[in-house]
A and B are shown apart, each in its own frame.
Chain A
């Protein structure tokens, strides 16, 4: 299959892996953070850790939008959909994320009208087809998905579709990276930079990471060969004692980003003064809300938003795992109370969450049993 097979080619991958071993100084440790959940998933899905020398540690970053969403936001969204006239739509990733009183899927089983959509325009179509209902789209994602939400809101306004609204949970990646670099327990040597986010924002917004923080960052694609090549590029920079922004994912990412997408986002969204991130606390100017000119389609304006704040279960160490301080299996609940099927923390839900990726692809390489029982 074109655009996939050439990046999974065994010869290319083996060559990159050999190159990494040649470049890595056996006398030191390397800690590289892959910011994106998509990278975390690919690293485990393709068994890439097996191809790296032991002194290169990949630390999983905060770039999984489902994972960083505080539980209260899910409860807020579900409380809007309690009205039997409302159809609740979200991406499939959201469906098993636990709220305080169950996940969207559990609410669906109890009769709530919950639908999985693959794009925000599916949700808008649903509103067109069901004029007697109100369709609420639970929007989530970084700059990757925010433009498509923006376009759909622009279309709803143009076409005067009244029975549609968006509950915006869009977040932005740069403040999260800044929070990680500001965190005293973080020791990251370099970054495997976001791929899909960068298709929208381009590479310029990362320049401060290289210039001010002295950390190399390489914008990276999601196939095995992409990720290994990016590690090669990071090692070259470290050997040369350089820190710059490089673009490995040139086939998709333009240095300046996507102007049309940025324009649509600016038309519809504005920065929130602050937003709570699961495990990381409140981060200023890190999330997007809908501008007053689109208030009619803003679910937070149309519905009562209880503003529920739910603290995560004490024993769950999502925050430490999210910041890369703990590895997934070091959390006390990992694989016991918390599994992909019955997740306690959100990192276990999304396929991009580091705990789910680790559980699905890595953990069981060393365990001896397929667990299908309910948690004790």
Chain B
């Protein structure tokens, strides 16, 4: 399997927005600079959260920063994202979030009412996700040196018993599920900036905790759940390319099955974007053993917020390390990770 993971060296001369976009450049930065210098010789594929052994107790640990612009948008705000994002990273690694710590970087001049609104949004989201916010830190920088506020959350969680999320466990024939329509969050943010003179009244961000849906799946299909990911920056295409690389198999996506709202498709057609590259904040992709796939899908359909779940593809032996898409008339295309940064600062 590691034959697919060739050693990467980070040689880009400067940091560009693309390094934060979650696509190829981000992956190169993490695998080529952070991993060799910070993570030692670990050859584990990089997941959404680290699972550590602390004196015989398994814990899951992760962190995420939020720099979204604008701070508030239809369906959510930076505070809500900051809770849900970290809780979801733990959930798709197969863990229930227990506690978060939060740090704020605030720009001098930020109206206190804006900060208070976001702190309240965090408290509400934490209650909704049943997670404790246990502490934090605040820094303030000069006016003009940051854009209103940035939030970082770090979280610990307990692994959910009975499941093992690992790219290495994925087999040819496994099915790929997505929990609902894709691209809502990224397109919502893009439109909320008001730079495009495009409007879509009914569209809002999909930000939400995904743990309840994952738990519903675990109850009926635990032994068949092989791999999960929340397709945030870089979208579904980037997550599935990472899966293909990490497990050394191919992914065949049935493009006509991928759920995309008309308003998102329309915006993507107009702007030349691919919905598969657009960020989501409340969806996950799961790879499920074929004998459990129908049960997992049924469990999602019966859960609140899970009716939009769909089977969108399957794992193949060949071509290894590659994501392919096929359409209703038999045309096949390769689908790459996100390259560059069409939509900066979406989360």
Say yes or no: A109 contacts B333, CB within 8 Å.
no
Given contacts A46-B327, A51-B329, A372-B337, contact A366 B319 (CB under 8 A): yes
- What are the residues of chain A within 8 A of B271 when measuring CB–CB? 118
Chain B residues 270 to 284 lying within 8 A of chain A, measured CB to CB, are: 271-272
Interface: A183 (CB within 8 A): no
Say yes or no: A362 contacts B334, CB within 8 Å.
yes
Say yes or no: B332 contacts A47, CB within 8 Å.
yes
Given contacts A47-B332, A364-B319, 19 further A-B contacts (CB under 8 A): A1-B262, A9-B328, A10-B328, A13-B328, A14-B329, A14-B330, A47-B326, A47-B331, A50-B331, A109-B14, A109-B15, A360-B334, A362-B333, A365-B333, A367-B319, A368-B319, A373-B8, A373-B32, A374-B12
Given contacts A10-B329, A106-B14, contact A365 B322 (CB under 8 A): yes
Tell me the count of chain A residues lying within 8 A, CB to CB, of chain B.
Answer: 44
Interface: A319 (CB within 8 A): no
Min CB–CB distance A299 → chain B (angstroms): 23
User: What are 23 pairs between A and B in contact, CB < 8 Å?
Assistant: A1-B265, A4-B265, A8-B328, A9-B328, A46-B333, A47-B330, A47-B331, A47-B332, A50-B332, A108-B16, A109-B16, A110-B14, A340-B339, A341-B24, A360-B334, A364-B319, A365-B322, A367-B319, A367-B322, A368-B321, A370-B241, A370-B244, A372-B337
- What are the residues of chain A within 8 A of B24 when measuring CB–CB? 341, 372
Min CB–CB distance B274 → chain A (angstroms): 9
Given contacts A109-B16, A361-B334, A362-B334, contact A4 B322 (CB under 8 A): no
Interface string of A87-109 (1 = CB under 8 A from B): 00000100110000000011011
Say yes or no: B337 contacts A370, CB within 8 Å.
yes
- What are the residues of chain B within 8 A of A47 when measuring CB–CB? 326-327, 330-333
Interface: B4 (CB within 8 A): yes
Complex: how many Å from CA A299 to CA B336? 38
- What are the residues of chain B within 8 A of A118 when measuring CB–CB? 195-196, 271
Say yes or no: B28 contacts A374, CB within 8 Å.
yes
Which residue from chain B places its CB closest to the CB of A119 in the assembled complex? Answer: B197
Q: Which of under 10, 10 to 19, 20 to 34, or 35 or more describes the interface residues of B?
A: 35 or more
Min CB–CB distance B319 → chain A (angstroms): 5
Say yes or no: A365 contacts B196, CB within 8 Å.
no
Chain A residues 113 to 129 lying within 8 A of chain B, measured CB to CB, are: 118, 122
Contact of A374 among B11, B265, B334 (CB under 8 A): B11
Chain A residues 45 to 62 lying within 8 A of chain B, measured CB to CB, are: 45-48, 50-51
- What are the residues of chain B within 8 A of A365 when measuring CB–CB? 319, 322, 324, 332-334
Say yes or no: A341 contacts B330, CB within 8 Å.
no
Interface: B36 (CB within 8 A): no
